[in-house]
């Protein structure tokens, strides 16, 4: 699925404390909107990482590329800048970056 990459978000509150995972290989910052919705903006360095989800998530790849396997799906799916994938709540996904840095915006439903 393709979408238009946002250049910026207006009228948000940014959390200064970073969310740091896997010894700094995945780092994000949270932003909150006036309507109560929340997103994280982050970087993923090369490696494979498993994340559990509470709420459903939409991951928008804004730069770089990665491959993803949601829960127990047998096949990996490739995603490049300008694409997105969805992850159901109360499950998990594995994301792998093999080269460079992948940047993303994660929206929580």
Q: Where are the domains of the chain?
A: 12-108
Report CA-CA distances (Å) from 6 to 36, 41, 57, 105. Answer: 19, 11, 17, 9
Q: Write out pLDDT tens, residues 33-45.
A: 999 999 999 999 9
Q: Write out pLDDT tens, residues 35-92.
A: 999 999 999 999 999 999 999 999 999 999 999 999 989 999 999 999 999 999 999 9
Longest Cα separation, the chain = 41
Q: Token pair 């200064």 is at which residue?
A: 16
Superfamily classification of domain 12-108: Jelly Rolls (2.60.120.10)
In the chain, DSSP finds a helix count (H) and a strand count (E) of 0, 11
| pTM for the whole structure | 0.91
Token pair in block for residue 63: 């730069």
Q: What pLDDT, on a 0 to 100 scale, did the predictor assign at position 2?
A: 57
**pLDDT band for position 109 (cuts 50, 70, 90):** confident
- Give the chain's length: 109
């Amino acid at each position: 699925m393709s979408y238009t990459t946002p250049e910026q978000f207006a009228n948000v509150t940014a959390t200064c404390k970073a969310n740091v995972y896997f010894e700094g290989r995945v780092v994000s910052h949270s932003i909150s909107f006036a309507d109560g919705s929340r997103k994280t903006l982050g970087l993923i360095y090369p490696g494979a990482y498993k994340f559990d989800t509470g709420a459903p998530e939409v991951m928008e790849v804004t730069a770089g590329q990665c491959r993803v396997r949601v829960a127990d799906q047998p096949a990996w799916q490739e995603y490049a800048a300008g694409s997105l994938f969805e992850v159901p709540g109360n499950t998990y996904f594995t994301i792998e970056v093999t080269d460079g840095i992948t940047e993303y915006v994660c929206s929580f439903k």
